[in-house]
Every structure is written in C-alpha cells, then in structure tokens.
A and B are shown apart, each in its own frame.
Chain A
Amino acid sequence: MTNLPKSNRRQFLKAGALLGTGLVISFVVPARITKFGESAEPDPVASFAPNAYLSIGSDGGINVLLSHVEMGQGIWTTLTMLIADELDADWKNIHVHHAPPGQPYMHTLYGLQITGGSSSTWSEFDRYRQAGATARMLLIAAGAKKFGVDPATCKTENGMVISGEQKASYGDLATLAASLPAPAKVELRPASDWKYIGKGLKRLDAPAKVNGTAKFGMDMQFPGMLTAVVAHSPVMGGTVKSFDATAAKAVPGVKAVVQIPTGVAVLADHFWAAKKGKAALKITWDAGANASFNSVTQMEKYRALAATKGLPALNKGNVESALSQGGKVIEASYDFPYLAHAPMEPMNCTVKLGADKCEIWTGTQLPGIDQAVAAKILGFKPEQVSIDTVFLGGGFGRRATPTSDFVAEAVHIAKASGKFIKMVWTREDDMQGGYYRAAFHHKLKIGVDNNGYPTAWNHSIVGQSIFEGTFLSMLVQNGIDSSSVEGIADSPYMTEVKDAYVGLHTTKLPISVLWYRSVGHTHTAFVMETIIDQLATEAGKDPLEFRRTLLKSHPRHLAALNLAAEKAGWGKALPAGHFHGIAVHESFLSFVGQVVEVSVTNGRVNVHKVTCAIDCGLAVNPDGVKAQMESGIIFGITMALYGEINFKDGKVQQTNFHNYPILRMNESPEIDVHIVASTEKMGGAGECGVPPTAPAIANAVFAATGKRIRKPPFASIT
C-alpha cells in the first residue's frame, strides 16, 4: 500500500471543499505513501474518499490520512481510533499515512499544519470522528440503495453494511458511495457506544518498529541519490570565507563539493565517503558576531538585568511597598542553561529537484512551512514542492523550526549541486547546529504572612524569546512572550497573593532558540514548585499540606496532587536514606502531580521511583497517556540531572552523548502512572509529564541533604 490513485486525488480535492475546510490551496499528493513503512507499490483500485481524512478502496482497503505526524507520541494510533469508532471498520484493512501539506490538514485552531503544543488529540477529537461518521452514513446510503431498502433498516459491523439477510462490504459499496451526495447532517455516536475511545488500542506503528521496516527520514534511499554531509561553522552563525576542496574531492566516492549559505556540503556515494570528504575540507571561517559569546558571562549579565524592573507580565497591588513592610522576605535566584533536544535520529532531509518540481522526504512537525520555505528558495510555487513526511525519530520541538533550517539546508544543497541528495547531519552537527531551549535566569523576592503563606511576590525573568519574529509572533503581546512567563504569571499560587509583579526582560542574542518539550514550563515549573516547597519548609509545614492550602480553589491541581500523594504513600516510611519530593503543575491544559523517591549517595542523586497522576479530561487512549507520562518523566530526569549546553567563544562545548548525557536504563526509575477519572475539558499528554519531574527531584534532594537546588543540572550535589 499504496500510491493514491488519480481518481482518489480528485476526490480528496472535492471533499476538502465539501467539508467546508475552504479552498484547497497548495495541496500536493505525496509522491509515495507507505503502509507502516513497507515499500510502496501502486494501488490500481478505484476508491471512495468522502473527505480528506480517509478513503475506501473497492478492495476494502481503508486509508486514513493524518493531519498530525507520528514522532513517538502515538498519534498514528489515536487519530485512527477516532475514525474507527465512528466507521465500524475492519482493523486489518486500515492503513495509516501522514497527510501531505494541504488546507484540509491545517490545525483546527492554529491555522497552519503543525504537530505541537500537545494538541493533536483534543483539537482533532471532533473532526476525525466526523470524518468517520460521514463515511459510514454514505456507505449505509449506498447499501440501502443496493439492497433497495430504507437506510434506517441498515446497520454496520466490522466493515459491512447489513440489512436483514442482505450484506455488502465497504469495499463493494465504495464506488456507489462515491457517487452519492455528502449528508447534510452527521451525528456522532454517544460516549456509551464508543468501542475504542477511552479504552485504547495497541500502537498501530509498533509492528514495523520492532522488525526494522519502519522508515524514517534517515532511511530514504533511491537510485542515483547521493549522501550530503555538511561542514558547519564551529562558531554559531559563522560563514565561509574561503575553502579548498582539493583533498575532499580526492576521497574515493566523493562526487561534488558545493558551498551553501550555512557551510560547505560534500556529496558522495554514501555517508562514509561524504564524512571523510568533509574531514578533508580546508575552510577558513568568518566567525561573525558570536565569536566572543560565552554562556557563563552571559548569565552574569542576566543576573544584573534581573535586578532591574522588567516589562509587566503580571502586576497587581504594590509589590515594592508590600515587601518593605518589615515582614519576612524569602529571596532566591535560579540559572537555567541552554538545552539541546537531541532526538535519536539526527536531522536529515532528502531532496529531488527537477526543472519545475521538487520532491522532499523528511520527518517534520511543520510540513506546510517547510513547503513554503523550500518553494521560496527555489522560486517555485508551494504546489510545485511535495513533502512526504515519514516517521520522525523523535521531535520534542526540534523538527518544527520556523525557518525550516534542515529542510532549507538540504534544498540549498540540491539547488547548488543539481543532484538528488539526502542530507545527513552527524550527531555533532545536530548537537552544535543550533535551536536550543533558551537559557533563563529568575530572581524572586517573596513576602510571607505569619503562617508562611505568600502575600507579596516580586519575580524577575530574563531570557530570549522563541516566538518573536516567527509565525507565532502573535503570542508576543506588549513585549511579553507568553512562553517566557507561562506557569508563573498564570500560576494558581498567585491567586491569593495580593501584591505581585512578574517582570520580563527579553534578551536579543544571535543564539537560535526554540520551543522544547513543555516549552517555558521546563524552567517556570522548576522555580514555582521548588520555591513553594521552600516556603512550606521554612514555615515548618508539610509540603503537601502547604500546597493543598494554597490550591484550595483549584480542584484539578488538587486532584492530581492528591492522587499522586496517595498512590506514593506520602508521609509513610521509606527505606533508609530514601526521601520523597513532590510537585504539581498545569501545562497544555492538563494537570500533573508527581511524587519522586530519591536517595543521595556520595553526592550522587539517584531517582528510585516516580509516582504520577494526570488529569487530562477524557483520556482517549489511556495506555498512550501513561506512555507519555513515562516518557515525559524520563525526559524530565535527563533535564534535571544532565541537561546543559554551554558556549565558549561562540562554540557549543557539547558534541555527542558522552558529554551531553541522556538518562540510561540503569538509572531509569520505576514509574507508576495513574489517570484521574475526569470529565473536565480535554488536555494534552505529550508534554505535561515533563514539568513536575525536575522540581520534585530537587525537593526530594532538599529533604535528603538540606540543600536547595538553584541551578540545574544537578546529578552531583556538592
């Protein structure tokens, strides 16, 4: 399975307009769609495409097209479940594909085609069920027509339309169904009829991921394709002054060397030859503006800036006056380093450039932006550029760059060389090539009442903006990038604080920064949950009870906090030398509480167990939600203990996994996840597991050592 047949393409176009999703612009049919990464072969069968999200072939094969991409979070399965619950399809006939760039696949809220913000399930909950329900109604209408009966007498079951003794398969009815008008009104099944939603399904992408057949961008191979490896400036943002490719071209297998805006690319028969060619290049670099950039001295500047008043993200009462009344004031400041996303699959992109079309294969969270960026570089219209999104070997935000950096670089190589190329970054390119979670500094002064509860809160935040100058610049209002202050300006702990000022200093630096799994909450949750813990212990109160008091008007926070505490046995005896730490945080519309069990031996932090509770409203695929909590927690432990990117003289100091460690099996704790039974508004699952983990560990470390952590990472406590 399958290249979509031509008739099918027209159906998609027609259906997109019918569904009221607007004019179909820049709709490009993928050059090759594969089922679970199997090799493509033509599918000659006629088919029925009631909308842009699914089609049914006369052979009974059902193609589901996903507007969101699979990068590990399980959306391949979850969106398909939504269709299947309405369609009554036979699972063995369902084939899942990533959609090409196109109007019907725009995010239902964000207005562009994007996988991000932990929004795929809730934002598609109605649209994908609607797609399945529409198809089912048309199939019933076709069945009724074929049987000569009233549609009301027909039911569906496992890919069949049935009326009395008569039955016909969806495949048999596909052609007839395609000729019928779209129903005026589509009713969705009540929750009581759901077979999959809320119950779950095994991952549909897993079989191909256990036998090596799943295809990632890195695995694209075509006859005549060359592999391109790029020499990038060692100083971020530097440019090529001059280069000598004589020795590189002499390496067996090297076919061409071309200069591109971001460096020099070596094209060869295979990766190894290209890599050797790159090593043989002699390049003189112009280091540019970053030659003296140093992250240590930069943080010193941030600290000085934090002492001055930033732009208001929250301003109520009069915090200066409140803090000068002579009551108890607690002060703290925090440093957060740059972080690399470091997905397991290094960045890569395959480009085949023709006279009037360009075909691109890559794993991307932003196919529409990539298409537009590629078209601009080539002087093409977007519809002349196809994007075939294959499995992403991890995303975490890195495969969603507003500049489409890795796609743009590959297109430049194809354009400069005239060759069909797969650009492959090494791990070093990936780690040093930019796009980091921004470094941040926080400075706090908190006035507390006689019981230790906060009454005045002065909070200064310093760091770079990720939204400014991007397609999400509307998220910068009055100089406040919402992602720099999320989790603080809107913190539930601020509810009862009478006098508060949250000030933001947005720094402008030539270091490329980007959203990162759980975005601003990566640092804001750490600050809030460790400082609240400190207020509790300074007041001589239990950290759980202290939070319960402050969160009394926030039932979803409380539910997650209480369930995690109960399941972890908060307050009960632990093995000697083991200590609990707790945290709760809302992000991406979901509420997550965690209790972490930690020991500190010879200054080394060991995480033994994490107990987690999440309220995400309806959990469409509960085991998928649990998997995302496990994933987020382990991501959070890596961030807490190891994550750190440093610059010296404009050069990233970390290069590979030996000096940018990722948590390993032997350090991985037992994880126990519980889902709060909830009928509240649906939230996300992909990111919200991350924020509470690092502060909960830090709070446990305090319980163990009496030391407050102000500067992650903290694998070693000295």
Chain B
Amino acid sequence: MVYKLKVNKKDYSVDATPDMPLLWVLRDLLGLTGTKFGCGMAQCGACTVHLEGEAVRSCVTLIARAAGKEVTTIEGLSPDSKHPLQVAWLEEDTPQCGYCQSGQIMAAAVLLRENADPTDEDIDHAMSGNICRCGTYPRIRKAIHLAAKLQKQGGTK
C-alpha cells in the first residue's frame, strides 16, 4: 500500500507492505543510505533515526508507525554538516571505520537536545544502545562533552 512519509522535511510517497521496517524504506526505497543496517533487531543502534524528534531503531520501526510523522536521518541533521556534534566529532577525530557513526550521532543529538550539559553517566545511559566495534567510545564521550560546550557558546542546532 502507499504511505506518505516526511523525511528530512521532504514529502515522499512510497509503496510498501505494512511490515516493512523504516530502515529499508529509507535505504532501499528513498536511497538515504546514511542510516546503516547492523543487526536488524534493535541491538546495535547503527540504524538510529529521529521519529518526531525521538531516537528510534529504524530496523524495528515499521513503516505503518512512521507514516505521516516527521523522520530525520543523518542526512537531515543539519543543512551544512555543522551541527555541534558533527563539528565536535571532527575535532576529536572520532570515526574509525565509520559504519556506526550515523547512529551514534543521531542518538547523541537527542541527548544533547534534552540535556544541555550531560554528565558521563548521562552519556552512558543515552549511548549504551549503540555498538562501535572499532571502540571509538572514549572519543564519542569527549565529542559529546565538546558539542555541549559548542552548543552553549551559541552553536546552532
């Protein structure tokens, strides 16, 4: 059936079965490949996107649930790749293989919006659903603290 989707402020209509996860709609039907497939069962967080502003695992979010709602992916996080998290991620040289990083940044973006000055414990809580096999956790932690600082100094969302 046909679903209406709003992704990164753009309207789309897609023909899909109701059980199709948002992840595959984004990747295979809309060509937005920044959102990654890692596990398919909400274990790794590589597929994290925002649904109405909340971080969800798109691999287990069915299209029927996402239809008509605002979806934001890594491609839509900022118009110029200058979100404080993206700036901080580069400053700390955070990515290694990079495959999990879209999901990490999307999870961190919700944390930073809700909590302008997260503690290490807040970061543990918000980020423990996202696996990084390269082990970039220490740099992700530093980058989130730095992004919080940048955001306070007037960095824009």
Chain B residues in 8 Å Cβ range of A632: 135
Residue pair A211, B96 in contact (C-beta under 8 Å): no
Q: Does A482 contact B (CB under 8 A)?
A: no
What sequence of 0s and 1s flags, for each residue 179-207 of chain A, a beta carbon within 8 Å of any chain B beta carbon?
A: 00000000000000000000000110111
- Among B27, B102, B133, the one with the most A-chain Cβ atoms within 10 Å of its Cβ is B133
Docked complex Cα distance between A252 and B95 (Å):
38
Contacts of B16 in A (CB 8 A): 272
Contact indicator B33/A344 (Cβ below 8 Å): no
A221 to B26, CA, bound (A): 13
**Known A205-B95, A212-B75, A394-B99; contact A344-B132, beta-carbon cutoff 8 A:** yes
Q: What is the CA–CA distance of A392 and B98 in the complex, to the nearest angstrom?
A: 9
Between A207, A211, A227, A346, the greatest number of chain B beta carbons within 10 A of the residue's beta carbon is seen for: A211
- Complex: how many Å from CA A206 to CA B130? 19
Which B residues are CB-close (under 8 A) to A393? 36, 97-99
Q: Which of B50-58, B119-127, B149-157 contacts A (4 or more CB under 8 A)?
A: B119-127
Chain A 622-636 interface 0/1 with B at a Cβ cutoff of 8 Å (1 = within): 010001001111110
Chain A residue numbers with a CB within 8 Å of B93 are 202-203, 206, 623, 627
In the complex, residue of chain B having the shortest beta-carbon distance to the beta carbon of A213? B34
Cβ of A666 within 8 Å of any chain B Cβ, yes or no, is: yes
A621 to chain B, nearest CB (A): 10
Please tell me if the beta carbons of B135 and A635 are within 8 angstroms of each other in the complex: yes
Q: CB-defined interface of A65-79 with B at 8 Å, one 1/0 digit per residue?
A: 000001111100000
Q: Is the interface of B mostly helix, strand, loop or mixed?
A: loop
Interface bits B110-124 vs A (CB < 8 Å: 1, else 0):
000000000000011
**A residues 347-401 in Cβ contact with B at 8 Å:** 391-396
Report A620-654 residues with CB < 8 Å from chain B CB. Answer: 623, 627, 630-635
**A270 partner, pick from B29, B100, B125, beta carbons under 8 A:** B29
User: Nearest chain A CB to B67's CB is how many angstroms away?
Assistant: 16
The answer to whether B24 and A72 have CB atoms under 8 Å apart is no
- Quick check: B141 and A665 within 8 Å, CB to CB? yes
Q: Chain A nearest CB: distance from B65 CB in Å?
A: 15
Partner of B139, one of A252, A394, A630: A630
B128 touches A344 (CB 8 A): no
Tell me the count of chain A residues lying within 8 A, CB to CB, of chain B.
62
Instruction: Specify the chain B residue showing the minimal Cβ separation from A218.
Output: B37
In the complex, A631→B100 CA distance in Å? 14
Which of A295-303, A544-552, A655-663 touches B? A655-663
CA distance A212 to B17 in the complex (A): 26
Given B21, B32, B135, which contacts A631 in the complex, CB threshold below 8 Å? B135
Given contacts A202-B90, A270-B28, is CB(A211)–CB(B34) below 8 Å? yes
Q: Does A467 contact B (CB under 8 A)?
A: no
- B137 at interface, CB cutoff 8 A: yes
CB-based contact B39/A212 at 8 Å:
no
Query: By the criterion CB–CB under 8 Å, are B33 and A212 in contact?
Result: yes
CB distance from B148 to the nearest CB of A (A): 16
Could you tell me if B86 and A210 are in contact, using CB atoms closer than 8 angstroms? Answer: yes
Q: Is the CB of A426 within 8 A of B74?
A: no
A219–B33 touching, CB < 8 Å: yes
Q: Indicate if the CB atoms of B90 and A391 lie closer than 8 Å.
A: no
Provide a sorted-by-A list of 26 A–B residue pairs whose CB atoms are within 8 angstroms.
A70-B97, A72-B96, A202-B90, A206-B89, A210-B85, A218-B36, A270-B24, A271-B27, A271-B37, A272-B20, A272-B28, A344-B44, A344-B99, A345-B38, A391-B97, A393-B36, A393-B97, A427-B39, A627-B136, A630-B138, A630-B139, A656-B41, A658-B43, A663-B137, A664-B131, A668-B135
Can you name 16 extra interface pairs (CB under 8 A) apart from A72-B96, A656-B40? A209-B98, A212-B75, A212-B102, A213-B75, A227-B28, A272-B16, A345-B99, A391-B98, A427-B38, A630-B135, A631-B136, A662-B44, A663-B137, A664-B128, A664-B130, A668-B135
- Top 9 nearest A-B pairs by Cβ distance? A212-B34, A634-B135, A393-B99, A209-B98, A72-B97, A72-B96, A270-B28, A212-B74, A668-B137
Interface residue ranges, B against A (CB under 8 Å): 16-17, 20-21, 24, 27-29, 31-41, 43-44, 46, 73-75, 77-78, 81, 85-86, 89-90, 93-102, 105, 123-125, 127-141
